[in-house]
Amino acid sequence: MARSKKSVREKVEKEYPEFAEEVAALTADQLNNRLATLAKGLEESEDAKESDEELERAKLLASELSAPYRDVKKAVQLKSKYVIGLLRDKGAA
């Protein structure tokens, strides 16, 4: 049986109950202000992430370490497509 997806409201009420209760009591203007505050907080977080030198070094290292695996994956995918094309050409697929 497939699980039904929870609505945004249900997720927020479960994961952030204090927040949900607090903002439910706000007026439309207050909600707009809260939305602006949330957007500003996200922007500040993104700016901090972009300027995090340690994170950038870690990403570079992860990229370098995973390169051989990506290369193998690309080669296998390309070869597989080639074989599938040959099978189609021979009427076997």
14-62 pLDDT tens trace: 999 999 999 999 999 999 999 999 999 999 999 999 999 999 999 999 9
pTM, to two decimals: 0.61
Ramachandran region, residue 2 (left: φ > 0; alpha: ψ -120 to 50; beta: rest): beta
For the chain, give the secondary structure using H, E and C: CCCCCCCHHHHHHHHCHHHHHHHHCCCHHHHHHHHHHHHHHHHHHHHHHHCCHHHHHHHHHHHHHHHHHHHHHHHHHHHHHHHHHHHHHCCCC
68-91 pLDDT tens trace: 999 999 999 999 999 999 999 999
